[in-house]
Amino acid sequence: RERSGRPSEEFTGHGTTLMLRHIPRKHTARDVIVGLEQKVARSGFDFVHVPWDRKATNNMGFAFVNFVNAEIARATWIVMEGTPWPGDTRGCSIKVSYADVQGLAANLTRYGEAGRIPDLIHCPVVFFNGEEVPFLVALQHLQEAQACNARLTTHGRMPVDAPAL
């Protein structure tokens, strides 16, 4: 479930994926990335998805961002919660919560399932060490790592990390 509001001192959450609400409705993932970069280095996050309402030709007012570790996610939460989106004059404050789907692999899997890949204009944006990687390439690397792990596990060996993108 999502946790709304500022992280409490007793909550040490290990989540890395945040949901940012009250994103300006005309913003694309690229616009969200520009806003994020005012708060955190690009190397601090590796996945940005802004769900798009195709019927209304704008986003749905929120974004999902996966950070490379829980500390960066928490720090970003603290600096963004309750502040206006950079350059937004509507007077809306950003609301931050932990997303239900956590981690880069889980998010790639979710958006890469058959029939779920958004059109290439509005598909998630993926980064590796701050460099953009095409979504379908990132998904292919994940699937290769999962297949390799499945083979290793069936032969009694330890799974390996995903290959570098």
pTM above 0.95, yes or no: no
Average pLDDT score over residue span 6-27:
76
Candidate from 73-77, 100-104, 107-111, 155-159 with smallest mean pLDDT: 155-159
Average pLDDT score over residue span 28-50:
94
Structure tokens at 151: 């083979």
* Cα–Cα dist 142/104, whole Å: 10
pLDDT tens-digit profile of 128-143? 988 999 888 888 888 7
Helices (H), 81-134: 104-112
Candidate from 82-91, 106-115, 116-125 with smallest mean pLDDT: 116-125
**Residue 67 corresponds to which amino acid?**
F
Give the DSSP H/E element, type plus range, for residue 66.
Answer: strand 62-67
Judged against a pLDDT cut of 80, whether residue 120 lies above it is answered with no
